[in-house]
Amino acid sequence: MPEGPEIRRAADRIERAIAGPLIEDVQFAFDHLQSYESDLIGQRVLEVETRGKAMLTHFDNGLSIYSHNQLYGVWMIRKKNNFPQTRRQLRLAIHGDEKMALLYSASSIEVLDKKGIKNHSFLGGLGPDVMNKRTQKRTLSNRLIKQLEKHKRRQLCGSLLDQKMVCGIGNYLRSEILFLAKLHPSRRPVDCTKEELKSLVKLMISVPEQSYKTGGITNDLKRAEQLKAQGARKSHYRHWVFARKNQPCYVCGETIIKSTFAGRRCYHCPRCQKL
């Protein structure tokens, strides 16, 4: 499933397609939302904000379209009036002057004002988004340190997936962050030194950022380029440990292990990430 970097890249594509010029048409598939179409037509999209796997498409009249792709939703950017051939159900269409942003198969769509966003049951429970352009790194770092210290006896493998602490980090990022921090998934903050926690927090910010900039690559970029030049598929050079069960660690050569932590698959190197 897509994580914070992939959601942010999708939001970027939507912004490039429809932000700025007056919106010429908005179409909702759900009857209870169709009364908002006239409120949004003729407005401008200011930005597309990400909050975990949710998006907020902000219009200049103070209204925002909340959308969450869940398991099957997908955004498509198309030239004006050039709809794709697909069996998916079109749930939302936003028509700009040259391009359209089309949301297929998603079932979680709402129109919210500022108060509605503040009081939203899902959004209200989220921590800061690691990929949100408004998030200040220093503020986020301080918050993460405090949260880890607050839940000092909780395994790191669970904390990193806690969207109330920070949203945007999912399963592949969790494995990669813990590997680079040289921390076993079952370690707890109480088991770590202050320097280890500081390093972990830095990686919780920098690894998603690299993934965003590179289209999902969390591995060493020079190694990734070398493997790509040798003809390797992206799935073979994309990550340090994630989805690399029984393959050698790039650092020490030990065999990568796949385990289950916090109900999700997790990968680690037993030598680099000693318990």
**Catalytic residue (choose from 3, 6, 49, 176):** 3
Task: Tell me if residue 264 is catalytic.
Answer: yes
**Catalytic residue (choose from 2, 13, 228, 270):** 2
**Catalytic residue (choose from 9, 16, 78, 264):** 264
Q: Closest Cα to residue 91, out of 80, 77, 107, 112?
A: 107
**Catalytic residue (choose from 8, 51, 53, 91):** 53
* Rounded distance between C-alpha atoms, residue 104 and residue 78, angstroms: 13
Task: Tell me if residue 3 is catalytic.
Answer: yes
Q: Closest Cα to residue 27, out of 72, 83, 85?
A: 83
State the DSSP string of the chain. ---HHHHHHHHHHHHHHHBSSBP-EEEESSGGGGGGHHHHTT-BEEEEEEETTEEEEEETTS-EEEEE-TTT-EEEEEETT-----SSPEEEEEE-SSEEEEEES--EEEEE-HHHHHT-TTGGG---BTT-TT--HHHHHHHHHHHHHHTTTS-HHHHTT-TTT-BS--HHHHHHHHHHTT--TT--GGGS-HHHHHHHHHHHHHHHHHHHHHTS--S-HHHHHHHHHTT--HHHHS-SSTT-TTSBPTTT-PBPEEEEETTEEEEE-TTTT--
Q: Which residues pair with 110 in a beta bridge?
A: 66
Task: Tell me if residue 164 is catalytic.
Answer: no
Task: Tell me if residue 2 is catalytic.
Answer: yes
Known catalytic residues are 2-3, 53, 264
